[in-house]
Amino acid sequence: MAKPYVIGIDMGGTNTAFGIVDARGNVIASDSIKTGKHSNFDDYVDELHTEISRIIAAADAEGKINGIGIGAPNANYYTGMIADGVNLPWPTPIPLADKISSKFGIPCIVTNDANAAAIGEMTYGAARGMKDFIMITLGTGVGSGIVVNGQMVYGHDGFAGELGHVIMKRNNGRMCGCGRTGCLEAYCSATGVARTASEFLEIRGEESKLRDMPIEDITSKDVFDAAMAGDKLAKEIFDYTGKILGEALADFTAFSAPEAFVIFGGLAKSGDLIMNPIKAGFEKNVLPLWRDKVKIIFSEMKEADAAILGASALGWEVRED
Amino acid sequence: MAKPYVIGIDMGGTNTAFGIVDARGNVIASDSIKTGKHSNFDDYVDELHTEISRIIAAADAEGKINGIGIGAPNANYYTGMIADGVNLPWPTPIPLADKISSKFGIPCIVTNDANAAAIGEMTYGAARGMKDFIMITLGTGVGSGIVVNGQMVYGHDGFAGELGHVIMKRNNGRMCGCGRTGCLEAYCSATGVARTASEFLEIRGEESKLRDMPIEDITSKDVFDAAMAGDKLAKEIFDYTGKILGEALADFTAFSAPEAFVIFGGLAKSGDLIMNPIKAGFEKNVLPLWRDKVKIIFSEMKEADAAILGASALGWEVRED
């Protein structure tokens, strides 16, 4: 029989949040550490072990942890490794699942952060009861977690769901961090919004509150604030961003015909500013059979909770052997 | 216990092929009728019943049929209906599964033709043993059947896998039969090849054997014949077609990270002429982590067999109640 608790760990570039979760999805204890504090990965694991052991003891949960689930950038469900090409302070690949399970003496399953968020949303959030949906995370990058037939899509190699890297502009597209050009992520991430602001301000002549600050300092938050204060150019930057995302979601629909897209992450806080052009871009571009039939909704989870809860759900999947 | 045989029916716009298939995938009897002969759908079902009953009797298989599987254009696995927007001689929607199962007194499951081909390929063809692959059918249109975790992807509504209708050209794209512009199908179907020929011949000045015939009569077969005879422009038409398909497959890889793409249908007969530019376009455009890692292969099945066998496999899925 499964033990009564699981540990969820959300490993980000800056912070690592973790919590003890019960079978009903209550986070009964949680805390966090700085990811980048240790230049050696084993030291990081040691601190994580110390801190998590402390909250386990405080919660009187020793020996009652069924498994540990981790959501981490580029983490692979099949191999348990953090793959290359990720912005972390340690050399990759990193045998994350092995290191954690040996240190803790508890089985561990990992997946990437967007997949963990999707699992959280399916188990506890806006996608409860859905068997086919796609989570789109709009943060520094654009991530995705795809659920088909009630199962996460990991693909042949565990790296499925890189929807931030479909090509939206085949000619003269923006450079992307992946080394190619025109990726969705180069337009619809928080960074993409800032780049759009920079382009718009250079090319166009209109007045804008955004001209009051140095172009290179403008963030997506500045664009949001300006748009909320009625700035027309700032609103157009969101229109441009949302339209491209809506076009992308229309193509994704032709792939897996999801019941819903769940939008998550920093940019999701922009509300209608981003949602209205996403929906307009989607409905204008989707194959007629899906017009007005696919839900596009915001995540119902707090960002921190979603990641911890989503990761923790993997802790119920561990084999009991 | 399951009965020893299933019926597979491949319903095309011109012909309807059908066969009796045993548990090892042997087509023990088969035949076909003209789909368009009857202006009334019930008459078509009557003829199908007469002809299939005849081969069942000849094979001494009365009472031994476990189920009927049908692959048909726009047929929906969940509803059993042929949906609107399809080139058939009868008004749609058509309650295909219900009509067939009542007439035959045998349970019936339907899916669209590309999905049926994918099931056939997975069960008996190039995708044997694969749990994650994508079938691309290049015929009059471009169809697809997607397999994830060993399961067909039907999506929330049963219409998933319309990869012929992702947008490949967002500006000045060709009109597509779906009413939008720039769809993959408008470029990479047999019709798309003919349209490319027409464009190339109008815009460019080079000599070409294709100039010996009226532009509007040129088919993809003519382009193939010219290319095989060394015609440079005809080869470039295949390069253009394959490159666009390769770019599309690169995007699809970011979705489900398949082990392989299986290319099927009329254009697949063009061999290296189409395969080389597909692979070049794919490797140039795919996210670096998948470079040289995804197989792109031709179907190993005869077209007729794939469809009948693929459809027939659904006959094993019927509930025994």
Neighbours of A216 (CB within 10 A): 7
Tokens 């007005």 -> residue: A292
Residue of A nearest to B295 (CA): A156
The H or E element containing residue B205 is none
Picking from B49, B30, B46, the residue whose alpha carbon sits closest to that of residue B38 is B46
Distance CA A160, CA A15 (A): 25
User: Which amino acid makes up residue A223?
Assistant: V
Residue of A nearest to B254 (CA): A162
Extract the tokens encoding B262.
């299986």
Contact partners, residue A230, CB within 8 Å, separation at least 6: none
The reply to whether A36 and A11 lie within a common domain is yes
Q: What's the pLDDT at A130?
A: 97
Residue B321 is assigned to a structural domain of this protein: no
CB contact under 8 A, B287 and A165: yes
Distance CA B195, CA B189 (A): 10
The reply to whether B278 and B311 lie within a common domain is no
The reply to whether A55 and A146 lie within a common domain is no
Residue A179 is assigned to a structural domain of this protein: yes
If one counts the domains in chain A, the total is 2
Strand residue runs (E) in chain A: 5-11, 15-22, 27-34, 65-71, 108-111, 133-138, 142-148, 151-152, 260-264, 295-298
Residue A124 is assigned to a structural domain of this protein: no
Q: What's the pLDDT at B319?
A: 65
The reply to whether A66 and A156 lie within a common domain is no
Distance CA B136, CA A42 (A): 46
Helices B220-228 & B232-256 angle (0-180, nearest 10): 120
The reply to whether A141 and A273 lie within a common domain is yes
The reply to whether B115 and B146 lie within a common domain is no
For an interface test with A, give the residue of B111, B251, B262, B285 to mutate (most A CBs within 10 A).
B251
Interface of B with A in 292-321 (CB under 8 A): 293
Residue A239 is assigned to a structural domain of this protein: yes
pTM of the model: 0.94
Distance CA A111, CA A314 (A): 9
Q: Concatenate the DSSP letters of all residues of B256-268 into one string.
A: H--SEEEEESGGG
* pLDDT tops 80 at residue B85: no
pLDDT digits (tens, 9 = 90+) for B226-259: 999 999 999 999 999 999 999 999 999 999 999 9
Distance CA A55, CA A48 (A): 11
CB contact under 8 A, B285 and A161: no
Distance CA B33, CA B179 (A): 31
CB contact under 8 A, A170 and B169: yes
**C-alpha distances in Å from residue A204, one per residue of A190, A198, A224, B29, B270:** 21, 10, 19, 70, 49
**The domain containing residue B46 runs over which residues?**
5-119+304-316
A66 within 8 A of A316, measured Cβ to Cβ: yes
Picking from B171, B223, B225, the residue whose alpha carbon sits closest to that of residue B195 is B223
Interchain contact B251–A (C-beta under 8 A)? yes
Extract the tokens encoding B114.
């590309």
For an interface test with A, give the residue of B256, B261, B292, B296 to mutate (most A CBs within 10 A).
B256
* pLDDT tops 60 at residue A321: no
The reply to whether B264 and B181 lie within a common domain is yes
Residue A286 is assigned to a structural domain of this protein: yes
CATH at B83? 3.30.420.40
Extract the tokens encoding B22.
């045993």
The reply to whether A105 and A76 lie within a common domain is yes
- B5-11, strands of its sheet edge to edge: B27-34, B15-22, B5-11, B65-71, B108-111
For an interface test with B, give the residue of A132, A151, A255 to mutate (most B CBs within 10 A).
A255
Interchain contact B131–A (C-beta under 8 A)? yes
The proportion of chain A whose per-residue pLDDT surpasses 70, expressed as a percent, equals 98
Residue of A nearest to B129 (CA): A156
pLDDT digits (tens, 9 = 90+) for A195-252: 999 999 999 999 999 999 999 999 999 999 999 999 999 999 999 999 999 999 999 9
The H or E element containing residue B201 is helix B190-203
Residue B229 is assigned to a structural domain of this protein: yes
Residue B125 is assigned to a structural domain of this protein: no
pLDDT digits (tens, 9 = 90+) for A79-136: 999 998 777 889 999 999 999 999 999 999 999 989 999 999 998 899 999 999 999 9
CB contact under 8 A, A288 and B178: yes
Residue B124 is assigned to a structural domain of this protein: no
A108 within 8 A of A100, measured Cβ to Cβ: yes
A236 within 8 A of A193, measured Cβ to Cβ: no
The reply to whether A225 and A259 lie within a common domain is yes
Q: What's the pLDDT at A33?
A: 96
Q: What's the pLDDT at B14?
A: 85
The reply to whether A139 and A223 lie within a common domain is yes
CB contact under 8 A, B257 and A288: no
The reply to whether B290 and B308 lie within a common domain is no
Interchain contact A289–B (C-beta under 8 A)? yes
Please give the distance of CA A211 from its chain centroid, rounded to a whole number. 31
Phi and psi at A68, nearest 5°, equal -115, 130
The reply to whether A277 and A294 lie within a common domain is yes
